[in-house]
Amino acid sequence: EVQLVESGGGLVQPGGSLRLSCAASGFTFSDYWMNWVRQAPGKGLEWLANIKQDGSEKNYVDSVKGRFTISRDNAKNSLYLQMNSLKVEDTALYFCAGGSHFDYWGQGNLVTVSS
């Protein structure tokens, strides 16, 4: 059974940092690009970043460039999102997603940025 399980979210003050993790199982993680997508409460989906199979290529949405860093460890079947300089507007449910065609999604991990 394919599983993507996000962790590392929680409450953080503006300007703070968090590192999200996504543990993958049930498929060959190293075969696929992986993505982070977020959804603010009551809002739509926002694609944030992706990373190539070997980590050699990364892309970001403009709103997080320079603040967020995507990375992966294929030996641990894990995807990461380092989030720095967090803003109130970064409050959202964060999903990891991947597969040939965004086939696999986690259930999301809530990040709340508030003072």
Partner 1 sequence: QAVVTQEPSLTVSPGGTVTLTCDSSTGGVTSGHYPYWFQQKPGQAPRTLIYGTNNKQSWTPARFSGSLLGGRAALTLSGAQPEDEAEYYCLLSCGGPWVFGGGTKLTVL
As measured in angstroms, the least distance from the Cβ of 105 to partner 1 is: 4
Name which of 52, 60, 58 is nearest 31 in CA terms. 52
Considering only 12-20, 42-50, 66-74, 84-92, which stretch makes contact with partner 1 by CB under 8 A? 42-50
Q: For residues 42 and 52, what is the distance between their CA atoms, to the nearest angstrom?
A: 30
Q: Pick from 8, 61, 69, 84: which binds partner 1 (CB under 8 A)?
A: 61
Say whether residue 105 binds partner 1 (CB under 8 A): yes
Query: Considering only residues 59, 69, 74, 77, which one is a binding residue for partner 1 as defined by CB under 8 A?
Result: 59
Token pair of 3, please? 């599983």
What single-letter amino acid sits at 15? G
Residue number, 16 or 58, with CB nearest to partner 1: 58
Buried b (16+ CB within 10 A) or exposed e, 16-34: eebebbbbbeebebeebbb
Element holding 114 (H helix, E strand): none
Q: Which is nearer to partner 1, 2 or 15 (CB)?
A: 2
95 lines the binding site for partner 1 (CB under 8 A): yes
Check if the beta carbon of residue 95 is closer than 8 Å to that of residue 86.
Answer: no
Q: What is the smallest separation between the CB atom of 2 and partner 1, expressed in angstroms?
A: 12
What is the binding site for partner 1 (CB under 8 A)?
Answer: 35, 37, 44-47, 50, 59-62, 95, 97, 101-103, 105-108
